Amino acid sequence: MDKDTLLVFLALVFGAVFFLTQSIVVPTFGTGRQESRRLKQRLGILSDDYQSERQISLVREKYFKKLSPLETWIESLPAMTRLEVFIERSGHEFPAYRLVLLSLFLALSGAALAWILSHQWLFVLAGMSIFGVIPVMKLRRDLVKRFAKFEEQLPEALDVMTRALRAGYPFNETLHLVATEMDEPIAKEFRIAFDEINFGVDTRWALHSMVERIPSMSLMAIVTTVMVQRETGGNLAETFENIGKLIRSRFRFQRRVLTLTAEARMSAWILAMIPFVLFLGISLINPDYVGNLTQDPIGKKIILWGIVLQIAGNFWIRKLIALEI
């Protein structure tokens, strides 16, 4: 294996593990699976599942009017619909097919670059995979940041709604106050819910749609509370105040956990990078040794199994340090 091919191999493997580490090693606090599933079932029971397709289509009609007939047909495909939800959750506004085209362009560019440098199909496939996933990883990173920001804004939004309810505002107007007085992303989501209600969509369905856009356990609890209170009655302002205190306590506990797991997360990064740093160092000090390893069939199997075990180790480390709160 010549020097250029070796460098391409190192770059592709390092990139693959870097993106993998970004997605599975770095822990992010999210909704617990069991709690999320239970609250979603509760929301499904309380929401109007019999809402007509006309109401849903009216909400999306404004979006489709901006597209050409061909774009509208492409965006209506089931796969594109799922991508559109992913893009919307990440805070961006562009057609889903553009994400597909960008990923294909980068994948072909990565494949062409790998072929020019190495002329080996294994590297071509690796380059195609790594470059093609870059837009998705960028959107996923934006999604995680947006969800975290939304969670941070929820207590303040509940304070605004509590004061408005005690001042005599109806519930719908409290959504408008949050949309006008607070920053993104929570302002946008509450504005969408308020506009949907004004457009004729039932309040429960509008809140359920907001949970679908932002699958936060805290938001699910708030929406469930609103739905139950609208059916049974009660002091909604006091309930919002208590939920706000609970969310703030949860944030304090999250920060404490992040502090306690900082060493473990740093160890995860070090353990993930050490093999590639050592491989690069050995290749620079003794290229013949690395060349024999990559050219021998047994050496190739060792490298392959090393990558597989590296991935498995990353998953295991994530399992150890990731806590669902």
Distance, CA of 313 to CA of 204 (rounded, Å): 44
Residue 111: band (very low, low, confident or very high) from pLDDT cuts 50, 70, 90: confident
Distance, CA of 312 to CA of 68 (rounded, Å): 45
Query: What is the model's pLDDT at position 162?
Result: 92
Look up residue 36 and give its amino acid: S
Classify domain 144-259 by CATH number: 1.20.81
For residue 257 the two structure tokens come to 């956990």
φ, ψ of residue 310 to 5 degrees: the values are -65, -45
Predicted model pTM: 0.67
Domain ranges in the chain?
144-259, 261-325
Could you tell me if residue 122 is left (phi over 0), alpha (psi between -120 and 50 degrees) or otherwise beta? Answer: alpha
Query: What is the model's pLDDT at position 50?
Result: 40
For residue 245 the two structure tokens come to 């205190």
| Of the ranges 59-73, 178-192, 273-287, the best mean pLDDT one | 178-192
First to last CA, the chain: 49
Residues in the chain: 325
pLDDT-wise least confident of 96-100, 124-128, 159-163, 287-291: 287-291
Q: What percent of the chain has pLDDT over 90?
A: 5
Span 121-145, average pLDDT: 84
Span 304-315, average pLDDT: 77
pLDDT tens figures, 54-105: 444 444 555 556 666 766 667 677 777 788 888 888 888 887 888 888 989 9
On the question of pLDDT at 30 being above 50, the answer is no
Q: What percent of the chain has pLDDT over 70?
A: 74
Distance, CA of 176 to CA of 191 (rounded, Å): 6
